[in-house]
Amino acid sequence: MSKFLFLYFYIFVLILSAQALTLDECIDETLKNHPDIKKLTLNVAQSKSFVDIAKADYMPQINVGAQYNPHNTFVMPQNGQFKTINDDNWQVDASINQKIYDFSKTSLTIKAYEKNENIANISLSDTKALLVYSVKNQYNLALLQTKALESREKDLQTKRELHKQAQALVREGLKTEADATTILSALYIAEDNLAVAKADLHKALTTLSLYMGRKINFDTVLAEGTELQKIQNEDSLLENVLAKNLSLKSSLEEIDKNSFIYDATKAQNYGSIDAIASYTHQNSLNEYDVSLVGVSVKIPIYTGGRISAQTEQARLSKESAKESYNSKKLLIQEEVESLIIDLQRYKHTIKAKESLIESSKASKEIVEARYKEGLSTYIEILDAASTHLYAELGLIEAKFAINKIINQLEYLQGETK
Domain count, the chain: 1
pLDDT at 1: 46
- Answer yes or no: is 54 within a domain: yes
What's the rounded mean pLDDT across residues 233-258?
90
Q: Do residues 284 and 72 make contact, with C-beta atoms less than 8 angstroms apart?
A: yes
Residue 119 structural domain: 21-412
- Answer yes or no: is 15 within a domain: no
Tell me the sheet residues that pair with 245. Answer: none
Q: Is 306 exposed, middle or buried (0-12, 13-18, 19+ CB in 10 A)?
A: exposed
Assess whether pLDDT exceeds 80 at residue 166. Answer: no
Strand spans (E) along 188-240: 221-222
- Answer yes or no: is 2 within a domain: no
Residues 6+ apart with CB under 8 A from 222: 21, 139, 142, 143, 146
- Answer yes or no: is 12 within a domain: no
- Answer yes or no: is 138 within a domain: yes
As a whole number, the mean pLDDT across the chain is 86
Q: Helix 306-372 to helix 246-267 angle, to the nearest 10 degrees?
A: 170
Q: What is the pLDDT of residues 79-138, one digit of tens each?
A: 777 778 888 889 999 999 999 999 999 999 999 999 999 999 999 999 999 999 999 999
Assess whether pLDDT exceeds 80 at residue 231. Answer: no
pTM: 0.80
pLDDT at 232: 60
What's the rounded mean pLDDT across residues 1-22?
51
Q: Which of 122, 123, 62 is nearest to 93 (CA)?
A: 62
Q: Do residues 255 and 325 make contact, with C-beta atoms less than 8 angstroms apart?
A: yes
- Answer yes or no: is 16 within a domain: no
Return the CATH number at 199: 1.20.1600.10
- Answer yes or no: is 330 within a domain: yes
SS3 state of residue 416: coil
Which is more confidently placed, 134 or 231? 134
- Answer yes or no: is 312 within a domain: yes
pLDDT at 77: 78
Of 63-67, 196-200, 300-304, 362-366, the poorest mean pLDDT is in 362-366
User: Quick one: CA torsion of 31, 32, 34, 38, rounded to 10 degrees?
Assistant: 100
